[in-house]
Amino acid sequence: MKNQFLKVFFAIIMAVAFFSSCKPKNSGDLVSGDAAKKVYVAPGKYDEFYNFVSGGFSGQLSIYGLPSGRLFKVIPVFSQDPENGWGYSEETKPMLNTSHGFVPWDDAHHPELSQTNGEVDGRWCFINGNNTPRVARINLKTFKTTEILELPNSAGNHSSPYVTENSEYLVAGTRFSVPGDYENGDIPINTYKQNFKTHISFVKADKEGEMDIAFQLRLPGVDFDKAHGGKGPSNGWFFFSCYNTEQANTLLEVNASQKDKDFIMAVNWKKAEEYIKAGKGKKEKVRYAHNIWDEKTHTGKSEIKTEVLVLDVKNLKDICYMMPCPKSPHGCDVDPTGEYIVGSGKLAAVIPVFSFGKLQKAIAAKQFDGEYEGIPVLKYEAVLHGEVKKPGLGPLHTEFDGKGNAYTSMFVSSEVVKWDIKTLAILDRVPTYYSVGHLMIPGGDTRKPFGKYMVAYNKITKDRYLPTGPELTQSAQLYDITGDKMQLILDFPTIGEPHYAQAAPADLIRNNGQLKFYKIEDNQHPFVTKGEKESKVVRKGNRVDVYMTCVRSHFSPDNIEGIKVGDEVYFHVTNLEQDWDVPHGFAIKGANNSELLIMPGETATLKWLPTEVRISPFYCTDFCSALHQEMQGYLRVSPAGSSVPLTFSLGTNMPTVK
């Protein structure tokens, strides 16, 4: 009977979702006449904000300007990118190494900007790889991925990466419960309740940003969804939404939605640190990759690590506490004061708001309602600040404007609802087009939101853009939130499937020592060529190293002969330019990897395996000057065992005169 009720309930939800994604009759009138003025950025002027948007299944991070909605850059992170050779050049291949080998793709969900004193500081942007569990750090001085860390004992790195107030830790929870890497994984799936566990990783970042796993918490086999760190009074705590507390292992859409309430888990990470210092942690054997980009040598290095410190919380009653939360919660968001924790149950008819002060009092008074696999469960009423009544259908995610207001996305009813954090009164609601997932307010999860704009990231577009076959682009919709009422002022398409985004004032990042070019004299690449006179070609057995330079508008050398079928040829190309925004490309006919895109002062390497006798042209792929088309050269490939000598030249190998 209960399962039949659930089937009917889900049928209603799906029907509402379908009809809510149909075009409202008044949609053409929702953008007022002054919208164009609010989003217009005149030629030569800059946007107010950088908007860092996850690329979802593209595995990348994209950067848009706000309020214009213009796409500025796609930063390759977990996926190969032929536009710039990421994951194809010999220097960047190690960045995509994992304990499973070379993995050139991931599912990137949640950007997170580094913080100082709970405020965006403009140093780094972190992002998670959901599929092959990884977290990455992007240096905002270069807008380049400079570190990728694999997470052992994890599967589906979704509640990640979220930082503490001073970026002491980057915290990553796991979506799928699985046996730990240090445990026997060859077990029946239907022994889930006995053998499946989850691990939450606390990743330490030093002052230079370099990451490593400080410790992990071993927890019951539930699915963690979203998370956020405490602020102000709640600093030292972390909060996670979790679902599938039924511990189902099949048909989760029904079997993981049985209970009226799941949990928001509160973690006292300061107390966990104390137990670690007291020696309560256990070192477990695992394998995970740690990949670091060296800015001096312009190369990535990968190291496989084999040990992690694990703290099992089942016998430690004062680290984790469960707060009941209706129903199948997704969002878990902490307001700017650090007092209120918002849980967003996807199937709930209310939005529960918890009080950190009440949480502390309830723990002190032991207002428990039993345990969940050894973790104390607090009484719902004891920790509840209150409920937002009838907010809409399918609440997912909440952000804050710093003025006492919260904004929650409603996936099923396709709208954003604005409400007062203290009184819980609904203040406004606006439609989205359609089925909004996450939303973003610049600084909206920090102590000091910048407000002004809110962006809804929608899963369905239907009629918003020109059709492009069966698949349509996702839609980002920009709202002005400076007034009492939210105002839709722009929508723009995005790459991949955007999940979450973060934004910061452009000047905070732009004026923070951004790199414009690499100084040639500082280039410590092992195969750097710092001037044309140093360019050369060297053979050692069947390995050939080409020390090449490029500058407007030629390569040196540009004629190479004596390459043989079966050789391994490495083109180490140094861009000699010392001016901003003058990259050069390098591509060879028949190369089966990618081009290179070499920044001014940088060295990059393309590996080429010639397989047939021929003349192979190479050329610059990035338009660099009026003579860009003339920036080319030739390689002569001779048969294996040929006696053609290895020669190279620039400007001297002139045509034979008859």
d(CA 344, CA 331): 5
Residue 152 is assigned to a structural domain of this protein:
no
Whether residue 469 is found in the same domain as residue 575 = no
Whether residue 430 is found in the same domain as residue 510 = yes
Whether residue 447 is found in the same domain as residue 403 = yes
Check pLDDT > 50 for residue 147. yes
pLDDT over 90, % of the chain: 89
Element (H, E) at 9: helix 2-20
Quickly tell me which residue has 């959901």 as its tokens: 130
The pLDDT confidence band at residue 531, using thresholds 50, 70 and 90, is very high
The secondary structure of 263-299 as a DSSP string is EEEEEEHHHHHHHHHTT--EEEEEEEEEEEEETTTTE
**Mean pLDDT value across the chain:** 93
Looking at residue 620, its pLDDT comes to 97
pLDDT over 70, % of the chain: 95
Residue 321 is assigned to a structural domain of this protein:
no
What are the tens digits of pLDDT across the range 234-265?
999 999 999 999 999 999 989 988 899 999 99
Check pLDDT > 50 for residue 2. no
Looking at residue 209, its pLDDT comes to 77
Residue 78 is assigned to a structural domain of this protein:
no
Looking at residue 565, its pLDDT comes to 97
d(CA 374, CA 630): 71
d(CA 154, CA 131): 10
Check pLDDT > 90 for residue 190. yes
Mean pLDDT of 278-293: 97
Pairing outcome for strands 603-608 and 436-440: unpaired
Residue 235 is assigned to a structural domain of this protein:
no
Whether residue 501 is found in the same domain as residue 550 = no
Looking at residue 509, its pLDDT comes to 96
Domain boundary among 463, 485, 515: 515
Mean pLDDT of 125-129: 97
The model's pTM: 0.94
Mean pLDDT of 97-122: 96
The pLDDT confidence band at residue 496, using thresholds 50, 70 and 90, is confident
What are the tens digits of pLDDT across the range 360-393?
999 999 999 999 999 999 999 999 999 999 999 9
222 close to 315: Cβ distance less than 8 angstroms: no
Whether residue 505 is found in the same domain as residue 556 = no
89 close to 606: Cβ distance less than 8 angstroms: yes
Whether residue 559 is found in the same domain as residue 653 = yes
Whether residue 585 is found in the same domain as residue 554 = yes
Looking at residue 16, its pLDDT comes to 45
Looking at residue 462, its pLDDT comes to 87
The pLDDT confidence band at residue 21, using thresholds 50, 70 and 90, is very low
Looking at residue 368, its pLDDT comes to 97
Residue 7 is assigned to a structural domain of this protein:
yes
CATH, residue 508:
2.130.10.10
Looking at residue 658, its pLDDT comes to 65
CATH, residue 626:
2.60.40.420
Check pLDDT > 80 for residue 70. yes
Q: For residue 15, give the 3-state DSSP assignment.
A: helix
Whether residue 490 is found in the same domain as residue 571 = no
Whether residue 396 is found in the same domain as residue 511 = yes
Domain boundary among 482, 515, 548: 515
Domain boundary among 484, 515, 546: 515
Looking at residue 19, its pLDDT comes to 40
Residue 583 is assigned to a structural domain of this protein:
yes
Mean pLDDT of 547-576: 98
Q: How many folded domains does the chain comprise?
A: 2
569: containing domain:
530-657
d(CA 388, CA 390): 7
Looking at residue 232, its pLDDT comes to 96
Cα-Cα-Cα-Cα torsion 392, 398, 401, 403, nearest 10 degrees, comes to 70
Whether residue 421 is found in the same domain as residue 486 = yes
Residue 369 is assigned to a structural domain of this protein:
no
The secondary structure of 48-108 as a DSSP string is SEEEEEE-BTT-EEEEEEETT--EEEEEESSS-BTTTTBTTSTTTGGGGEETTEE-----B
Whether residue 562 is found in the same domain as residue 609 = yes
Looking at residue 206, its pLDDT comes to 80
What are the tens digits of pLDDT across the range 616-651?
999 999 999 999 999 999 999 999 999 999 999 999
Of residues 484 and 256, more confidently modeled: 484
What are the tens digits of pLDDT across the range 209-239?
789 999 999 999 999 999 999 999 999 999 9
Whether residue 536 is found in the same domain as residue 645 = yes
Looking at residue 31, its pLDDT comes to 56
Check pLDDT > 50 for residue 6. no
Residue 281 is assigned to a structural domain of this protein:
no
Looking at residue 27, its pLDDT comes to 45
What are the tens digits of pLDDT across the range 293-352?
999 999 999 999 999 999 999 889 899 999 999 999 999 999 999 999 999 999 999 999
Mean pLDDT of 544-566: 98
238 close to 171: Cβ distance less than 8 angstroms: yes
